[in-house]
């Protein structure tokens, strides 16, 4: 078994074991052990990657290729570069944190953890796939458990939200499907065989006309899950209704599939299409960036705030990807990671606050710093990270994006860049608004004085997420180098 | 081959027969009448087969054989339909089409 | 004369033997042990199915009226497997509801006769054999649809089916007669060479096509479907939706790809329009169904629309994807119908609202239902996804991107209503949820097979490769 | 010169911060105070040692002060653009090290007394350490991006410290305001950095500031809307500096920032962080001077001068003593900006630059002293308002004396520190622009007036009766006062021009006696007026206030700038932008998506009649379908 396929296999084993668990205790411990194994595998992968990279300078390492559907030339083909490695690490951390946060999932615990792990299989598979078909399969595997997770364990208008989210994402994947088929049937342009393999297709010069036609489909297909304006509306409702761990995984990991897919498929395989269409998507993504931030200002539900902030932050990812240069791409990937950790952390904290106070309406909360200092302090830190404070990962990402975007010297892009830089101000406004209203101020409800202090598993979950945020923020060079190195061939493909 | 009658005349006749059957099917209120109309539709094609065979391809009797089978099958079909109609009649004491509209939308 | 030639008709011969054995058996089985008929039927049919897997030579009989090849055998085996699952699933129902009236044997005889007709339909080498097969496959089903003689809607379903079927066969015959007029022969092998796209041929083709489209329930020839499914016993609805439809798809494919190949310019346009109409109408009607049988009926109409995406390209790839899809569809739909049947049998409830809270009382059934629905919707990793993906790939291979686009839009719509069922079962909690019950062995076996099929068929790629190789026969 | 040990100067506060921050709950308050103080003491000693080394031992080679730097790549953007982390040692950074470490040390010591018994004692010291670390990082920055990073960090420390009393609504609002307003300024700063990075290909100060370097020589290579790109960049960078240094019109956060604990106001909002803007312009001075022939410096001058005047006028009418000091700070910062703006580059022309730094240095001492003194008073009477004070000289002799020294220093009375630096500024202004000079002199008079207004108001004036008799503060608080008072008296004698100049070559600066005399006289007049108005309790001030009428009202309301900003923020951005967007999102964007779903379901309902249930209708559809399709194919598609 190769090192990457284990990422699929171990969760499957976890699920199999979970099927035989009897109660919450057994279920969560099984899930935890499974996730810890995953995390250690991911960490191991990082180190092995560096080792392998030193001796192997092919685009993807640890590749494994098995023919699956020969008539279609579909392969089960996996491999990673620095970008996937980073995202795999993100996933494994967020999943483990999610398990910790769901420590007290009393309702149907077994099913909950199974769905959660199925979701993670989809994500892992997506990140390691080098074959468009398997990539698409894993993409859908990742999306569908959301319906159950939100629908069964959610709150509020959970059925509606779950349905909306699922349908919009599946609708997007439907569009994506056409894009993928379009790429597939043009992959023989240079006389070779039709193929789904990304690396093979990248070597082919897909006809310009086809690129122009299929780029928008591929882009939109992926970008919907990355909350591209105006297709982002599944996200606020979905996040608001989802249980904590699911919001974490969804915003933290699942939404990254969008950016990653855009990058790996749309940009890499259809560069001419990207150049042709980038202007319209730049406009949309900048609207998303500013618009998400402005919307967040007016929200009163914590989860909505965070959801709109995700729209804004992920808008930056898409924006950066459209800049078509290394620095911005690097920023986009780091932003993906950083947003993944940050937003997962946020949702975790919101979940803890909700569990204690039974409200997410900031108007009803107040003075939490006094009653639950640990959670509140971390919330402030997460907030600061979110508004791009140096020393946290968000800053590194944003600066890369801005500097990268500024390398592009058309006036249009300049204006777009400057507009998107405004988020550093708007973000500050909505983050500080929440901090001011919810955490500071007098304690609004006497019942809050008796709130339960933070528990060990919650602390563990929080720390898991906080460490990488600070880690990337303080010493960005290693991760940035890992990513930059992997970006090189993509840039060459573009030029 | 019938003197003085071209194949077109016969085909026109069968077409008319076919559409009479269709018309009957669409307008009769009684299930039995509908069944009779179906017979007309089938018979239109029976005549068709025979005429085409006779006029165009008189060497091999494919069409004629075909028409025999059609008659046989039509009989079976009618028998079954009548059986079902009788069963329906036992339950609702009616063979009107409008009484078979319980399931819709 | 060498009778060994008749071994080419092994499927038909054995099935006929099974039918006769059952009829004879009925004479000897005492009233007290009537249930033995069920075991006997299932056992015999199981043997028949197993024998069907053994290899058989290609060849033809009766001067080309009957022909067989590996692909056709494959079809027949697929149908056999479907019928076997169906028998397993409906064994309990027959025992409890039909045997009381002492009409068990007839049920099997009629069912097998219909299957017998399908064999001939698929194997037909000329229009006459085709017509006979078609009628033989339809008429017994009409009887079966009206089998629950005490239920008004059952009779209504029967009458609707037989009248519509008569209309359809009348139209189809008219079409065949016109084709006969233009080509001069009813033998397929002659038709291929003689046919050309002139007006009369086109008219004949369209009329003929409508007869088959009726069986596949393509829009606008689909209207009988929902009513008949709802009224008939679930076993029959299930049979109509998978076996009958599957057989019709096979023969339509054979005809289009071989006999009517010269008309491809016509039928690809025809299929294009009808595919779109079928998908949309099926899905839009399915959206608001409450009765599970009716719901599955519309869903099966929509699925038929998807099948056309594979047919439209008219080559090996299309054939392979269609067969593969039908195979998967049989398993998925049988699983869904199986669950509906199990619940209906135990509680008599068939409405979606009755399913609320099902997961908390009957988790296994709910899971099977969910897998089946996901497979129908096309969600990986269950088989339906692969079937649909390949169909779309097939359509896209000839540049039908817009059609694929509409199809994927429809996948999304269909996902909505499949999720409605999932919602009822998993998301809702209900005080009067269907209480826990245990199924009998046949039903469990039947469901188990479908589940295994749903889980394995997609991922296990050699199967598709095998079908793909067989499909070369249709070139 | 070996500069590697200098890294410890910021590192120690960082370690202290992490220590106190992480073990916040477990550490005893008394211990945490000592940890903070001794940590900073070490930093301060090292700073002084470094200054000694630099200025007197090894920094000066052939009359030119050398620049030493040590850096390591922190983040790569492109092949040429990268963020370095490191330390840059040149005259102004060494000077700033002294300022920051000394004032911070004093504030740390002072806080041990001032914050005694507070719940968040440890947290407070942690934040102070964080701030100190960030400030050190800022002054030692080797490149634009590094300075931006620490710029943000001081901003957030400021946020945390202003909002230290987090249960007080006003403190929360003030903290938020401070952060958002400076963030808005940083928006400009960041874009400026981006422009610089793109057009010069470097962020590094040494490269950028080199007068013979390509960055400066090619400043005109690209232009945008009539100005060169670099000019725009410098304007935007100045915007960042103006935000941090509370220049008009980005000053509105500074008065509100007084909601923080008084030691914080002394450290951050008087002595160190607010001068970061001045420091930034000074740091990039060669660029400002050479690019576009100093065009941007004109802006700097006028913004500085206007802010100085504007703030001084407002300061007269405020009744909260900390706010008076805040506006005074703003006014003095304007002074420094102004001085930078009028400065030249070579030799004696660089007197403005030198004066600005000099004033920065002296101002840090006496303004910190003023704030700490005010804190001592507030500590004693538990109120910020002038009306609750009066006659305190009897109760608090040390505070009284030190406050007086500081007031004299800021008023420019010789021989106190302020006199020397202010004189240099006026000299520079006089040589450059007479109008600016007169503004400067006028502001000097106003400064003396309002400063003595509060001095008399606090320590003389009416004899208030107090519920709790005010007591002199403990030694931990008076000790820093005494130290700073000593410094306020003496630092003016430092021959600053020999150490600090734009081109890093020392020069001789002489006292310009006529100008010095004018300034001193104006200052004394201000003091005298204050004496008349406020020495004894009388109604003169009120009469005059009524005399000024509208003007007084406008002034005491700070010219309604808060209200304007509030209007823009609340009424325009919240109500007219944010709210409509939020609604638009729900109603139209989301509405469209939901609408698509509803339309589908609606269509489904509408067409249900097709399935009528009547078998004849089905047959009709069947036959009509077949016939229509057939005819269409025959007549249209063959």
Residue A1 covered by a domain: no
Q: Would you give the distance in Å from CA B104 to the centre of its chain?
A: 26
* Residue-wise pLDDT tens digits, C297-316: 999 999 999 999 999 988 88
Supply the DSSP string of A279-314, one letter for each residue.
Answer: HHHHHHHHHHHHHHHHHHHH--BHHHHHHHHHHHHH
Window 413-472 of A: residues touching C by CB (8 A cutoff) are none
Number of structural domains found in chain C: 1
- Residue A13 has phi, psi (to 5 degrees) of -65, -40
Which H or E element spans position A67?
strand A61-69
Selected from 3.40.440.10, 1.10.730.10, 1.10.287.3510, 3.40.50.970, the CATH number assigned to the domain covering B7-100 reads: 1.10.287.3510
Q: What is the CA radius of gyration of chain D?
A: 30
Which of C466, C250, D377, C288 has the alpha carbon at shortest distance from B105?
Answer: C288
Nearest by CB to residue D626, choosing from C210, C224, C285, is C210
* Residue-wise pLDDT tens digits, D22-46: 887 788 888 888 888 899 899 999 9
- Beta bridge partners, D505, equal D64
Contacts of D352 (CB under 8 A, 6+ apart): D339, D340, D341, D342, D343, D344, D425, D428, D429, D432
In the DSSP assignment, the letter for residue C150 is T
CB atoms inside a 10 Å sphere around CB D377 = 26
Sort out which chain D residues have CB atoms less than 8 A from C271's CB and list them.
Answer: none
Distance from CA of D595 to the nearest CA of C (A): 14
Query: Which pLDDT value is given to residue D576?
Result: 81
- H-state helical runs in D291-416: 295-317, 321-341, 351-381, 397-411
Contacts of A495 (CB under 8 A, 6+ apart): none
Nearest by CB to residue D625, choosing from C160, C202, C210, is C210
Query: Which pLDDT value is given to residue B80?
Result: 92
Query: Which pLDDT value is given to residue D524?
Result: 87
pLDDT exceeds 60 at position D536: yes
* Residue-wise pLDDT tens digits, D402-448: 888 888 888 888 788 888 888 888 888 888 888 888 888 888 888 88
User: Which of these ranges, A30-44, A219-233, D204-218, has the smallest mean pLDDT?
Assistant: D204-218
Minimum Cα–Cα distance from C422: chain A residue: A148
pLDDT interval class at A107 (50, 70, 90): confident
Q: Round to whole Å and give the CA distance between D361 and D421.
A: 9
Q: Round to whole Å and give the CA distance between D615 and D604.
A: 21
Answer for the pair C124, C251: CB distance below 8 angstroms, yes or no: yes
Q: How far is CA C247 from CA A247, C107, C212, C326, in A?
A: 47, 20, 10, 9
Number of structural domains found in chain A: 1
**Class of residue C36 by CB neighbours under 10 A (exposed 0-12, middle 13-18, buried 19+):** middle
CB atoms inside a 10 Å sphere around CB D576 = 12
Nearest by CB to residue A370, choosing from D75, D167, D592, is D167
pLDDT interval class at D638 (50, 70, 90): low
3-state SS class at A130:
coil
Report chain B's terminal Cα–Cα distance, integer Å. Answer: 50
Answer for the pair D507, D347: CB distance below 8 angstroms, yes or no: yes
pLDDT exceeds 70 at position D218: yes
pLDDT exceeds 90 at position D526: no
Please give the model's pTM, rounded to 2 decimal places. 0.91
Distance from CA of C336 to the nearest CA of D (A): 23
Q: What is the CA radius of gyration of chain B?
A: 17
CA torsion through residues A313, A315, A317, A323, sign: negative
Query: Which pLDDT value is given to residue C109?
Result: 92
* Residue-wise pLDDT tens digits, C67-126: 888 889 999 999 999 999 999 999 888 888 888 777 788 899 999 999 999 999 999 988
Contacts of C212 (CB under 8 A, 6+ apart): C134, C172, C248, C251, C252, C255
Residue identified by tokens 């506060």 is D13
CB atoms inside a 10 Å sphere around CB D637 = 13
Say which residue, A377 or D540, is predicted with more confidence. A377
pLDDT exceeds 60 at position C1: no
Sort out which chain D residues have CB atoms less than 8 A from C197's CB and list them.
Answer: 638
Look up residue D248 and give its two tokens.
């008009």
pLDDT interval class at C129 (50, 70, 90): very high
Whether residue A230 has a cis bond before it, omega within 30° of 0: yes
Q: Round to whole Å and give the CA distance between C18 and D392.
A: 117
Contacts of C422 (CB under 8 A, 6+ apart): A147, A148, A151, C369, C370, C373
Query: Which pLDDT value is given to residue A495?
Result: 64
State what percent of residues in chain C have pLDDT above 70: 99
Supply the DSSP string of D87-121, one letter for each residue.
Answer: EEESHHHHHHHHHHHHHHHHHHHHHHHHTTT-TTH
User: Which of these ranges, A117-131, D352-366, D489-503, has the smallest mean pLDDT?
Assistant: D489-503
Inter-chain touch C135–B73, beta carbons under 8 Å = yes
Angle at which helices C383-397 and A132-143 cross, to 10°:
130
Beta strand extents in D21-78 (DSSP E only)? 60-61, 64-65, 68-76
* Residue-wise pLDDT tens digits, D598-620: 898 899 888 888 888 888 899 99
CB atoms inside a 10 Å sphere around CB A299 = 24
Query: Which pLDDT value is given to residue C414?
Result: 92
Q: Round to whole Å and give the CA distance between C136 and C133.
A: 5
Query: Which pLDDT value is given to residue B1?
Result: 67
Query: Which pLDDT value is given to residue C138?
Result: 92
Which of C425, C422, C424 has the alpha carbon at shortest distance from C414?
Answer: C422
Q: How far is CA C160 from CA C137, C148, C167, C168, C275, in A?
A: 16, 15, 11, 12, 24
Contacts of C462 (CB under 8 A, 6+ apart): none
- Beta bridge partners, A225, equal none
Sort out which chain A residues have CB atoms less than 8 A from C426's CB and list them.
Answer: 148, 151-152
**Class of residue C3 by CB neighbours under 10 A (exposed 0-12, middle 13-18, buried 19+):** exposed
**What residue spans define the domains of chain B?**
7-100
3-state SS class at C194:
helix
For all residues of chain D together, what is the average pLDDT?
85
Answer for the pair C119, C12: CB distance below 8 angstroms, yes or no: yes
Look up residue C321 and give its two tokens.
């994807």
How many residues are listed for chain C in this entry? 475
Q: Would you give the distance in Å from CA A89 to the centre of its chain?
A: 12
Q: Round to whole Å and give the CA distance between D198 and D201.
A: 5
Answer for the pair D329, D274: CB distance below 8 angstroms, yes or no: yes
Q: Round to whole Å and give the CA distance between D478 and D369.
A: 10
Q: Round to whole Å and give the CA distance between C281 and C226.
A: 12
Q: Round to whole Å and give the CA distance between C413 and D599.
A: 12
For residues D314-322, average pLDDT = 85
Q: What range does the domain containing A91 cover?
A: 6-494
Which H or E element spans position D282?
helix D276-283
Q: Say how many CB pairs under 8 Å bridge B and C.
A: 125
Q: Round to whole Å and give the CA distance between D379 and D373.
A: 10
A neighbours by CB contacts (3+ pairs under 8 Å): C, D
pLDDT interval class at C367 (50, 70, 90): very high
Q: Do chains B and D touch (3 or more CB pairs under 8 A)?
A: yes
Inter-chain touch A137–C385, beta carbons under 8 Å = yes
For residues C208-214, average pLDDT = 91
Q: Say how many CB pairs under 8 Å bridge C and D.
A: 85
Q: Round to whole Å and give the CA distance between A300 and A361.
A: 6
Look up residue D99 and give its two tokens.
């300022």
Q: Round to whole Å and give the CA distance between C322 and C315.
A: 11
Inter-chain touch C160–D604, beta carbons under 8 Å = no
Q: Round to whole Å and give the CA distance between C254 and C248.
A: 10
pLDDT exceeds 90 at position D586: no
Which of D333, D342, D339, D335 has the alpha carbon at shortest distance from D298?
Answer: D342
CB atoms inside a 10 Å sphere around CB D446 = 23
Query: Which pLDDT value is given to residue A1?
Result: 64
Answer for the pair B85, C159: CB distance below 8 angstroms, yes or no: yes
Q: Round to whole Å and give the CA distance between D589 and D363.
A: 55
Window 51-70 of B: residues touching D by CB (8 A cutoff) are none
3-state SS class at A80:
strand
Q: What range does the domain containing C88 cover?
A: 3-474
Q: Round to whole Å and give the CA distance between C435 and C151.
A: 26
Look up residue A358 and give its two tokens.
């039974």
Look up residue C61 and give its two tokens.
């009989």
Distance from CA of D611 to the nearest CA of B (A): 5
For all residues of chain C together, what is the average pLDDT?
90
pLDDT exceeds 90 at position B71: yes
pLDDT exceeds 60 at position C263: yes
Q: Round to whole Å and give the CA distance between D49 and D65.
A: 17
* Residue-wise pLDDT tens digits, D334-393: 888 888 888 888 878 888 888 888 888 888 888 888 888 888 888 888 888 877 777 777
* Residue-wise pLDDT tens digits, C31-57: 777 788 888 899 999 999 999 888 888
Answer for the pair A427, A312: CB distance below 8 angstroms, yes or no: yes
* Residue-wise pLDDT tens digits, A408-418: 888 888 889 98
Q: Round to whole Å and give the CA distance between C171 and C159.
A: 18
Q: Mutating which of D614, D625, D626 best tests the B interface, going by the most B Cβ atoms within 10 A?
A: D614
């Amino acid at each position: 078994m190769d090192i990457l396929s284990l990422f699929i296999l171990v969760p499957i084993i976890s699920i199999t074991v979970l099927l035989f668990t009897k109660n919450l205790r057994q279920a969560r411990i099984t899930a935890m052990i499974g996730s810890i194994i995953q995390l250690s595998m991911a960490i191991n992968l990082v180190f092995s990657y560096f080792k392998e990279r030193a001796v192997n300078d092919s685009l993807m390492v640890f590749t494994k290729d098995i023919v699956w559907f020969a008539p279609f030339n579909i392969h089960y083909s996996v491999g990673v570069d620095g970008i996937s490695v980073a995202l795999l690490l993100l996933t494994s951390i967020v999943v483990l944190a999610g398990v910790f946060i769901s420590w007290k999932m009393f309702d149907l615990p077994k099913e909950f953890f199974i769905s959660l792990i199925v979701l993670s299989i989809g994500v892992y598979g997506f990140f390691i796939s080098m074959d468009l078909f398997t990539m698409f399969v894993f993409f859908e595997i990742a999306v569908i458990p959301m319906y159950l997770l939100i629908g069964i364990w959610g709150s509020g208008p959970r059925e509606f939200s779950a349905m909306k989210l699922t349908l919009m994402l599946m609708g997007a994947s439907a569009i994506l499907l056409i894009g993928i088929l379009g790429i597939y049937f043009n992959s023989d342009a240079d006389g070779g065989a039709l193929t789904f393999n990304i690396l093979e297709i990248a070597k082919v010069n897909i006809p310009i006309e086809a690129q122009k036609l299929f780029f928008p489909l591929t882009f939109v297909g992926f970008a919907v899950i990355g909350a591209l304006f105006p297709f982002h509306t599944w996200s606020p409702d979905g996040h608001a209704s989802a249980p904590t761990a699911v919001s974490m995984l969804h915003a933290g990991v699942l939404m990254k599939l969008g950016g990653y897919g855009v990058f790996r498929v749309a940009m890499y395989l259809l560069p001419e299409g990207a150049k042709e269409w980038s202007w319209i998507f730049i406009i949309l993504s900048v609207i998303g960036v500013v618009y998400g931030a402005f919307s967040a200002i007016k929200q009163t539900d914590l989860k909505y705030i965070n959801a709109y902030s995700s729209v804004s932050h992920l808008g930056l990812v898409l924006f950066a990807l459209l800049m078509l240069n290394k620095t911005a791409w690097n920023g986009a990937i780091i932003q993906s990671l950083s947003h993944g950790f940050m937003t997962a952390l946020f949702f975790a904290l919101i979940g803890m606050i909700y569990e204690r106070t039974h409200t997410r309406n900031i108007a009803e909360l107040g003075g939490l710093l006094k009653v639950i200092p640990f959670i509140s302090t971390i919330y402030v830190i997460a907030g600061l990270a979110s508004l791009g404070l140096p020393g946290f990962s968000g800053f590194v990402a944003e600066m890369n994006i801005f500097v990268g975007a500024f390398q592009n010297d058309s006036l249009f892009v300049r204006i777009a860049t400057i507009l998107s830089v405004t988020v550093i101000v708007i973000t500050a406004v909505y983050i500080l608004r929440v901090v001011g209203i919810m955490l500071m101020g007098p304690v609004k409800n006497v019942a809050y004085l008796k709130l339960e202090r933070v528990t060990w598993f919650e602390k563990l979950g929080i720390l898991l997420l906080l460490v990488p945020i600070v880690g990337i923020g303080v010493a960005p060079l290693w991760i940035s180098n890992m990513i930059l190195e992997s970006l090189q061939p993509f840039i060459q493909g573009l030029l | 081959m019938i003197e003085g009658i071209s194949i077109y005349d016969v085909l026109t006749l069968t077409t008319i027969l076919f559409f009479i059957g269709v018309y009957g099917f669409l307008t009769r209120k009684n299930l039995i009448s509908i069944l009779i109309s179906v017979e007309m539709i089938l018979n239109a094609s029976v005549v068709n087969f025979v005429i085409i065979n006779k006029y165009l391809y008189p060497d091999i009797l494919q069409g004629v054989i075909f028409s025999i089978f059609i008659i046989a099958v039509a009989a079976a079909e009618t028998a079954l339909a009548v059986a079902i109609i009788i069963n329906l009649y036992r339950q609702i004491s009616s063979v009107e089409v409008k009484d078979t509209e319980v399931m819709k939308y | 004369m060498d009778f060994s030639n008749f071994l080419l008709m092994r499927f038909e011969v054995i099935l006929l033997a099974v039918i006769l054995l059952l009829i004879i058996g009925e004479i000897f089985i005492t009233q007290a042990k009537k249930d033995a008929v069920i075991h006997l039927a299932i056992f015999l049919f199981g043997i028949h199915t197993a024998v069907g897997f053994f290899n058989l030579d290609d060849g033809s009989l009766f001067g080309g009226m009957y022909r067989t090849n590996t692909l056709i055998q494959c079809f027949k085996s697929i149908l056999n497997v479907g019928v076997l699952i169906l028998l397993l699933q409906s064994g309990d129902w027959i025992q409890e509801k039909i045997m009381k009236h002492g009409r068990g044997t007839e049920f099997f005889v009629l069912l097998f006769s219909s299957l017998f007709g399908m064999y001939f339909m698929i194997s037909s080498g000329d229009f006459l054999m085709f017509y006979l097969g078609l009628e033989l496959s339809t008429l017994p089903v009409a009887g079966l649809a009206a089998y629950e003689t005490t239920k008004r809607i059952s009779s209504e379903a029967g009458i609707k089916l037989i009248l519509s079927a008569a209309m359809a066969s009348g139209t189809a015959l008219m079409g065949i007669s016109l084709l006969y007029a233009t080509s001069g022969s009813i033998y397929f092998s002659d038709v291929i060479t003689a046919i050309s796209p002139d007006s009369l041929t086109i008219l004949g083709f369209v009329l003929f096509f409508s007869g088959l489209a009726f069986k596949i329930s393509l829009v606008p020839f689909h209207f009988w479907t929902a009513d008949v499914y709802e009224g008939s016993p679930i076993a029959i609805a299930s049979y109509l939706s998978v076996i009958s439809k599957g057989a019709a798809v096979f023969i339509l494919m054979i005809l289009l790809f071989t006999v009517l190949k010269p008309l491809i310019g016509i039928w690809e346009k025809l299929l294009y329009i009808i595919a779109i109409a079928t998908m949309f109408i099926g899905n839009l009607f399915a959206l608001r169904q409450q009765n599970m049988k009716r719901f599955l009926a519309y869903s099966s109409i929509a699925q038929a629309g998807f099948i056309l995406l594979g047919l439209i390209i008219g080559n090996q790839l299309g054939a392979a994807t269609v067969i593969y899809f039908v195979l998967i569809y049989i398993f998925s739909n049988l699983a869904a119908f199986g669950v509906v049947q199990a619940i209906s049998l135990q509680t008599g409830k068939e409405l979606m609202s009755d399913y609320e809270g099902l997961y908390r009382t009957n988790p296994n059934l709910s899971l099977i239902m969910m897998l089946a629905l996901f497979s129908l919707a096309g969600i990986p990793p269950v088989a339906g996804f692969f079937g649909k993906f390949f169909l779309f790939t097939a359509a896209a291979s000839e540049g039908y991107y817009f059609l694929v686009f509409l199809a994927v839009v429809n996948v999304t719509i269909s996902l909505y209503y499949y999720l409605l069922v999932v919602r009822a079962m998993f998301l809702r909690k209900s005080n009067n949820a269907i209480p826990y019950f245990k199924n009998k062995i046949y039903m469990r076996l039947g469901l188990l097979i479908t589940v295994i099929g749903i889980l394995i068929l997609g991922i296990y790629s050699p199967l598709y490769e095998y079908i793909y190789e067989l499909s070369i026969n249709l070139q | 010169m070996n500069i590697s040990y200098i890294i410890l100067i910021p590192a120690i506060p960082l370690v202290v911060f992490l220590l106190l921050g992480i073990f916040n709950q477990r550490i005893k308050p008394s211990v945490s105070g000592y940890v903070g103080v001794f940590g900073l003491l070490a930093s301060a000693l090292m700073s002084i040692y470094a200054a000694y080394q630099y200025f007197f031992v090894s920094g000066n080679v052939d009359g030119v002060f050398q620049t030493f730097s040590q850096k390591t790549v922190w983040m790569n953007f492109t092949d040429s653009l990268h963020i370095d982390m490191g330390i840059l040692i040149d005259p102004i950074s060494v000077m700033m090290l002294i300022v920051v470490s000394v004032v911070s040390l004093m504030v740390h010591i002072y806080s041990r007394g001032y914050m005694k018994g507070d719940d968040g004692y440890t947290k407070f010291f942690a934040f102070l350490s964080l701030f100190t670390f960030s400030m050190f990082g800022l002054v030692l920055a080797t490149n634009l991006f590094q300075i931006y990073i620490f710029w943000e960090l001081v901003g957030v420390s400021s946020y945390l410290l202003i909002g230290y009393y987090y249960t007080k609504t006003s403190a929360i609002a003030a903290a938020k305001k401070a952060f958002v307003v400076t963030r808005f300024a940083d928006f400009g700063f960041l874009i400026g950095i981006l422009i610089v990075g793109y057009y010069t290909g470097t962020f590094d100060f040494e490269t950028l500031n080199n007068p013979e370097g390509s960055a400066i020589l090619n400043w005109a290579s690209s232009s945008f809307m009539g100005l060169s790109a670099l000019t725009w960049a410098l304007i935007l960078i100045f915007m960042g500096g103006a935000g941090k240094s509370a220049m008009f019109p980005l000053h509105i956060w500074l008065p509100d920032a007084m909601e923080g604990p008084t030691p914080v106001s002394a450290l951050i909002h008087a002595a160190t962080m607010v001068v970061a803007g001045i420091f930034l312009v000074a740091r990039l001075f060669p660029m400002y001077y050479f690019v576009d022939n100093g065009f941007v410096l004109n802006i700097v001058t006028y913004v500085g001068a206007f802010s100085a005047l504007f703030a001084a006028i407002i300061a007269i009418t405020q009744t909260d003593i900390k706010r008076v000091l805040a506006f005074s700070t703003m006014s003095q910062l304007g002074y420094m900006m102004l001085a930078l703006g009028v400065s030249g580059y070579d030799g004696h022309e660089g007197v403005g630059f030198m004066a600005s730094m000099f004033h920065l240095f002296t101002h840090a001492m006496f303004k910190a002293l003023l704030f700490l003194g005010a804190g001592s008073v507030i500590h004693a009477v538990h109120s910020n308002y002038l009306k609750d004070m009066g006659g305190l000289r009897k109760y608090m002799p040390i505070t009284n004396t030190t406050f007086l020294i500081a007031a004299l220093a800021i008023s420019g009375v010789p021989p106190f520190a302020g006199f020397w630096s202010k004189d240099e500024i006026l000299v520079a202004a006089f040589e450059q622009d007479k109008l600016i000079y007169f503004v400067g002199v006028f502001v000097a008079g106003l400064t003396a007036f309002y400063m003595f207004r509060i001095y008399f108001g606090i320590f003389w004036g009416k004899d208030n009766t107090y519920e709790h008799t005010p007591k002199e503060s403990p030694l931990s608080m008076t000790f820093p006062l005494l130290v700073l008072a000593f410094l306020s008296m003496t630092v003016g004698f430092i021959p600053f021009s020999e150490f600090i100049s734009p081109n890093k070559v020392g020069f001789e600066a002489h006292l310009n006696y006529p100008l010095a005399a004018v300034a001193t006289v104006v200052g004394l007049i201000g003091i005298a007026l204050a004496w008349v108005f406020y020495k004894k309790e009388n109604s003169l001030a009120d009469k005059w206030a009524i005399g000024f009428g509208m003007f007084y009202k406008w002034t005491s309301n700070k010219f309604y700038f808060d209200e304007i900003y509030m209007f823009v923020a609340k009424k325009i951005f919240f109500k007219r932008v944010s709210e409509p967007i939020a609604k638009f999102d729900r109603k139209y964007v989301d509405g469209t998506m939901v609408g698509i779903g509803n339309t589908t379901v609606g269509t489904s309902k509408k067409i249900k009649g097709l399935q009528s249930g009547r078998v004849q209708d089905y047959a009709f559809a069947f036959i009509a379908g077949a016939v229509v399709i057939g005819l269409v194919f025959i007549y249209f598609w063959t």
